[in-house]
Amino acid sequence: MTKNEYIESLIKADKIKHTVDKSINFQFQIGSKTLGEEKVLIAGPCSVESKDMIIDVSLKLKEIGVDALRGGAYKPCTYPVRKSVNGWKEGLQKEGLEYLLNAKDKSGLPIVTEVMDASKINLVSEYADIFQVGTRNFQNYTLLDELGKQDKPILLKRGTWGTLDEILGACERIIEGGNTKIAICLRGVVGMPSYRHIFPSTRWAPDLMMIPALKEFTNIPIIYDPSHATGYRNFVLPISKAAMALNVDGLIVECHPKPEKSISDPDQAITFNNLKKIKELFKN
Ligand code: PEP
Ligand code: MN
C-alpha cells in the first residue's frame, strides 16, 4: 500500500471530496491580505483579560504590522476545571467580546476569536471577523455543520489527536454547508509521555510534517500555531521559522505585555519584541 492509497480510497468512496477539489477557491481576506496568496500573521493574548489590556495589545500589534488580533473570550482549558474552583469562568465571555470590538475600533485589526458551541454562533458573529474552532471542538459536528452555513471564515484548529483524513473530513463538514472560507490551524498533537518528552511540562509535540502532508492533497490554507505546539516561549521563534520554511500560509502566535503574567498559557506567550522577530520572517 502506498502511503496515500488510504486517502485515495476515501476520495474514491466520495468521503473526501470538496477539500481535494482544486477548482474550489478557499482563499479569504484577512485585513488587507488574501490568505493563500500572501502570508498572514495573527497575534494576541491567549485570553482577553481586560478592556485596556486588549486595546493596548491591539495598538502595539498594529504598529508591528500584524494582520489580525486573536484573543479568547470563551476559553476552554485542557484540564476541565470545575466552575466552583477559584471562580474560574473560562474567559470574560460576552464582556470579552465587547472588549475585542473596542480593540478593533481603535486598531482597525480584524478579530479572530473562539466559538465553543453552536448556540453561541449568532452572538460571536456580532464581534468576530473569523470564527476560531478550538482543538476540543475539532469533531463537534453540530458546530461544524452550523459554521458551514455562515459566511464568515473559519480557523479550524486540529484536534490534538486528528489524523490527515480526519482533518480533511472535518473541513468537508464545513464545506458541505456552503462555506469554503476555511483555514486549517495546526497546533501540536499528543506526543510522548511527558517524562520522555523534552521537559516533563511539555504538553504537545509540533506537528510540522502535517504541513507538506496536507499540501499534497488540498489547497485549503494552513496556519501554524507555534505557541500551543511548543508550549514554551523560547521555542516559538525556531518553530515559526520551521513552519515558514515549510511554506505555511500564516502563523497565529500568542503574545502578551507581560508574558509570564498571562492569565492562561503563561509559559508560551512571547513579548512584543520577540513578535517583531517573527514578523521579520514575513519579509522576504
Ligand atoms: C487558543 O488558541 O488559545 C486555544 C485554546 O487553542 P487550542 O484550541 O488549540 O487549545
Ligand atoms: Mn492559548
Instruction: Give per-residue pLDDT as tens, 70-115.
Output: 999 998 887 888 877 776 668 999 999 999 999 999 999 999 999 9
Render pLDDT for 166-198 as a digit per residue (tens, 0 to 9). Answer: 999 999 999 999 999 999 999 999 988 888 889
Name the residue at shortest CA distance from atom 10 of ligand 1. Answer: 135
* 250, burial (CB in 10 Å: exposed 0-12, middle 13-18, buried 19+): buried
Q: Is the pTM of this model over 0.75?
A: yes
Tell me if 265 sits within 8 A of 71, measured CB to CB: no
Domain ranges of the chain: 35-283
Q: How far apart are CA 153 and CA 156, in angstroms?
A: 10
Instruction: Note the pLDDT of residue 88.
Output: 65
Ligand 1 in contact with 229 (CB < 6 A)? no
Q: What's the gap between Cα 9 and its chain centre?
A: 29
Helix intervals (H) in the chain: 5-12, 51-64, 94-107, 121-125, 141-147, 164-176, 210-215, 226-230, 233-245, 272-280
Percent pLDDT > 70 in the chain is 98
Asked if residue 252 has its Cβ within 6 Å of ligand 1, the reply is no
| Tens-place pLDDT, residues 123-138 | 999 999 999 999 999 9
Q: Which carries the bigger pLDDT value, residue 158 or residue 87?
A: 158
Whole-number Å distance between alpha carbons of 167 and 4:
15
Tens of pLDDT, residue by residue over 15-66, are: 999 999 999 999 999 999 999 999 999 999 999 999 999 999 999 999 999 9
User: Which pLDDT does position 4 carry in this prediction?
Assistant: 86
Q: How far is the CA of 174 from the centre of ligand 2 (A)?
A: 24
Rounded to 5 degrees, φ, ψ at 48 are: -75, 120
Domain 35-283 has CATH 3.40.50.300: no
Q: Are strands 182-186 and 222-224 parallel, antiparallel or unpaired?
A: parallel
The three grid cell numbers given for residue 243, joined into one nine-digit string: 513552519
* Ligand sitting nearest the alpha carbon of 229: 1
Give the 3-state secondary structure of residue 143. Answer: helix
Ligand 1 pocket residue status of 137, Cβ below 6 Å? no
Determine which residue's CA is closest to atom 8 belonging to ligand 1.
134
Look at residue 194 in the predicted model and tell me its pLDDT: 83
Residue having the nearest C-alpha atom to atom 4 of ligand 1: 134
